[in-house]
Amino acid sequence: MAIKPNLRIGCAAGFSGDRTDAAGPIVDAMLAVGGPSVLIFETLAERTLALAQLARRTDPQGGYEPLLDELLRPILQPCMAGGIRIVSNFGAANPSGAARHIVALARELGMRVPRIAIVEGDDLSGTEQRKLLGSAAEGLSLVSANAYLGAEAIADALTAGAEIVVCGRVADPSLTVGPALAHFGWARDDWTRLARATMAGHLLECGSQVSGGYYADPGVKDVPGLANLGYPIAELNADGECIVSKAPGTGGRIDAHTVKEQLLYEVHDPSAYLTPDVVADITEADVIELGPDRVQLTGVRGHARPGSLKVNLCHETGWLAEGEISYAGARAEARARLAADVLRQRLDGLGPLRVDLIGVASVFGDDAGCWLGAQVPGEARDVRLRVAMKHAERAKAERLLREVTALYCCGPAGGGGVRTALRPRLGTVSCLVPRESVPATYRFIEAAAS
């Protein structure tokens, strides 16, 4: 059998809310090189799906990535004309809605309507599927419940001829493993190759976090062109090993250090990185600088995939109330501390109040205030007091907003710039379900249905 040519996979988004103009340079670079190419967008953090479910409650046609149009409009035509396939979880809570949007976009652009497949099976929030969750969902005001699906349905859809695969919740690296499985035709228990592709996907899944984003620290970790970061492109060979690079002419940096930071990002035990597709082991992995902005990952090993799938449940947990007010000039810190004492007294009995002195101590601290309490009061001259509280009842949470606002007249001298906010809170819990009980499927969207 002839060895398959290498596969290029570019990642143009690392979360919902990422830059939306990242895809253009990736597509240009992949078209210039030619050969099999895939563009992926990773747009689902843990909470994003719950927010999408809430959006769908308001608008049954919605519930997919809100910036879908902005992400795809500039590159849909060149991708389809150049044979670049697109794989993403931007379907969120409504993959078929996202697919219909893409059909409409293609028509508006006057291009041929692409063959779009959607992957289903992740959503376990329905009455029947909810039984699978057992005690995990008991007593919760459930907003979403989604299993992390693997790469197989994506691979099957691509093999069946899909040009675009729209998913809801799939494991982030599976967006890379799916196209690699389809292209190279690996056995589905080829754990070594699946693990290598998984770690390639892990390097890609946060977009620019491997290519200089989230890395810069002036004078120590300098990154050129942070305002024009090149998003990563991984070139996988038939053994699943990868070389990470980025489009010419873009900003950013790819070297052994940027790759190591991303390789370990959100990894716990490096000998057992669990995904639905495989258990990857990076304890013998190495990164090799091949040239400027060109790094190879080697030595990844794999073990049989887990028998269970992880399910994330999001549920409503009441309200988050926050308020802020600023103090500046002589004794600013003392006045901010006094304002905090006033708020503690006024809100006593409503629940724990978090206090931050922005400009003094507001980030490393704990909710209970041990860190702030250990700081010796100082002479800071520019301090913003922030307080935060959670409560199951909206009216009780709103008390905090009113008390912070009242500091305008009743608080220490010179307080200004009050801002308050009340937000619904979403909690998450996770559980495991047997793999067999959550079958992933794909189906093509009929263009006529739009």
Partner 1 sequence: MSQNLKLPLHRAAHGRTGDKGDRSNISVIAWHPALWSLLVEQITEEAVAHQFAHRRPSSVRRYLLPRLHAMNFVLDGVLDGGVNDSLNLDTHGKALSYLLLDLPLDVPTDLIPFLVGPG
Residues near partner 1 (CB under 8 A): 46-47, 214-215, 217, 219-221, 257, 260-271, 282-287, 299, 314, 317, 320, 352, 354, 356, 362-367, 370-371, 374, 386, 388-390, 425-428, 430
Residue showing tokens 């959550």: 438
Provide the minimum distance between the beta carbon of 243 and partner 1 in the complex, in angstroms, as a whole number.
17
* Distance in angstroms (rounded) separating the CA atoms of residues 337 and 358: 11
* Distance in angstroms (rounded) separating the CA atoms of residues 369 and 362: 10
| Closer Cβ to partner 1, 24 or 427, answer by number | 427
Provide the minimum distance between the beta carbon of 286 and partner 1 in the complex, in angstroms, as a whole number.
5
Q: Tell me the pairing of strands 416-434 and 382-391.
A: unpaired
* Distance in angstroms (rounded) separating the CA atoms of residues 115 and 181: 19
| Closer Cβ to partner 1, 277 or 356, answer by number | 356
Q: Tell me the pairing of strands 286-291 and 294-298.
A: antiparallel
Provide the minimum distance between the beta carbon of 281 and partner 1 in the complex, in angstroms, as a whole number.
11
| Closer Cβ to partner 1, 317 or 450, answer by number | 317
Cα–Cα distance list, 6 to 37, 72, 217, 267, 322 (Å): 9, 25, 35, 27, 51
Provide the minimum distance between the beta carbon of 264 and partner 1 in the complex, in angstroms, as a whole number.
4
| Closer Cβ to partner 1, 155 or 263, answer by number | 263
| Closer Cβ to partner 1, 110 or 349, answer by number | 349
* Distance in angstroms (rounded) separating the CA atoms of residues 89 and 173: 11
Closest CA to 263 of 239, 245, 281, 240: 281
Provide the minimum distance between the beta carbon of 427 and partner 1 in the complex, in angstroms, as a whole number.
5
Instruction: With residue 52 as reference, give the H or E element that holds it.
Output: helix 48-58
* Distance in angstroms (rounded) separating the CA atoms of residues 387 and 343: 8
| Closer Cβ to partner 1, 364 or 409, answer by number | 364
| Closer Cβ to partner 1, 304 or 368, answer by number | 368
| Closer Cβ to partner 1, 61 or 283, answer by number | 283
| Closer Cβ to partner 1, 227 or 363, answer by number | 363
Provide the minimum distance between the beta carbon of 145 and partner 1 in the complex, in angstroms, as a whole number.
15
| Closer Cβ to partner 1, 24 or 318, answer by number | 318
The DSSP output letter for 149 is B
- DSSP state letters, 247-276: -TT-B---SHHHHHHHHTTT-SSTT-EE-S
Cα–Cα distance list, 232 to 155, 165, 246, 411 (Å): 21, 20, 5, 51
The DSSP output letter for 436 is G
Provide the minimum distance between the beta carbon of 417 and partner 1 in the complex, in angstroms, as a whole number.
16
Provide the minimum distance between the beta carbon of 370 and partner 1 in the complex, in angstroms, as a whole number.
4
| Closer Cβ to partner 1, 193 or 390, answer by number | 390
Provide the minimum distance between the beta carbon of 90 and partner 1 in the complex, in angstroms, as a whole number.
21
In our burial notation (b when 16+ CB lie closer than 10 A, e otherwise), range 335-367 reads bbbbbbebbeebbeebeebbbbbbbbbbeebee
CB 311 within 8 A of CB 431: yes
Provide the minimum distance between the beta carbon of 272 and partner 1 in the complex, in angstroms, as a whole number.
10
Cα–Cα distance list, 265 to 252, 309, 331 (Å): 18, 21, 42
Closest CA to 338 of 374, 368, 346: 346
- In sign, the C-alpha dihedral spanning 83, 163, 106, 69 is negative
Closest CA to 165 of 219, 84, 232: 84
Provide the minimum distance between the beta carbon of 364 and partner 1 in the complex, in angstroms, as a whole number.
5
